[in-house]
């Protein structure tokens, strides 16, 4: 009374795990996109690296933050915009930013969003690849479904 060879009980090993890993991967991507859509669109819409010179930094009691006039050159045109600053800066301070060639939008391109996305996506992708690729049933071991 041994095991029957050739026929598998249910799905082959690895398929359930790969399905769960794929579902987790898709869910992680959807949640990451929804949570970070604003950051992602900001990265897409501000593709040009610029160096801005900050002037006229001052504290706003009403808004409870510093703001400075940022001046930068993009595509041969000088642009200027008052924008929130992390801290007080001396006149002439230079800061690397990203700008939109169509609008005056500036961005810091915070890498934290990409780090969080990578921490979610990479492990799910690795589990999916491991379970889906490396755990394929071996036809010689009797794990594969029998052919009709």
DSSP 25: H
pLDDT score at 94: 94
pLDDT score at 54: 94
Q: Which of 11-20, 88-97, 116-125 has the lowest mean pLDDT?
A: 11-20
Kindly state the average pLDDT of the residues 45-72: 89
CA gap 88, 56 in Å, rounded: 10
pLDDT score at 43: 72
pLDDT score at 69: 93
pLDDT score at 12: 53
Is residue 91 very low, low, confident or very high in pLDDT (cuts 50, 70, 90)?
Answer: very high
pLDDT score at 71: 94
CA diameter of the chain: 88
By CB neighbour count within 10 A (0-12 exposed, 13-18 middle, 19+ buried), where does 71 fall? middle
CA dihedral sign of residues 29, 34, 40, 45: positive
pLDDT at residue 73 is higher than 90: yes
pLDDT score at 144: 54
Tens digits of per-residue pLDDT, 96-146? 888 888 887 888 776 676 777 777 777 777 777 776 666 555 556 555 555
Tens digits of per-residue pLDDT, 18-50? 677 778 778 877 877 777 777 777 777 778 889
């Amino acid at each position: 009374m041994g095991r029957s060879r050739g026929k598998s009980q249910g799905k082959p090993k690895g398929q359930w795990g790969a399905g769960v890993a794929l579902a987790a991967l898709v869910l992680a991507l959807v949640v990451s996109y929804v949570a970070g859509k604003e950051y992602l669109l900001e990265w897409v819409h501000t593709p040009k690296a610029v160096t801005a010179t900050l002037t006229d930094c001052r504290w706003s009691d009403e808004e409870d933050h510093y703001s400075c006039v940022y001046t930068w050159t993009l595509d041969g045109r000088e642009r200027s915009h008052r924008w929130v600053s992390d801290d007080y800066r001396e006149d002439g301070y230079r800061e690397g930013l990203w700008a939109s060639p169509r609008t005056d939008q500036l961005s810091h391109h915070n890498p934290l969003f990409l780090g969080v996305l990578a921490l979610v996506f990479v492990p799910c992708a690795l589990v999916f690849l491991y379970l889906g690729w490396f755990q394929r049933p071996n036809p010689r071991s009797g794990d594969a479904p029998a052919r009709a």
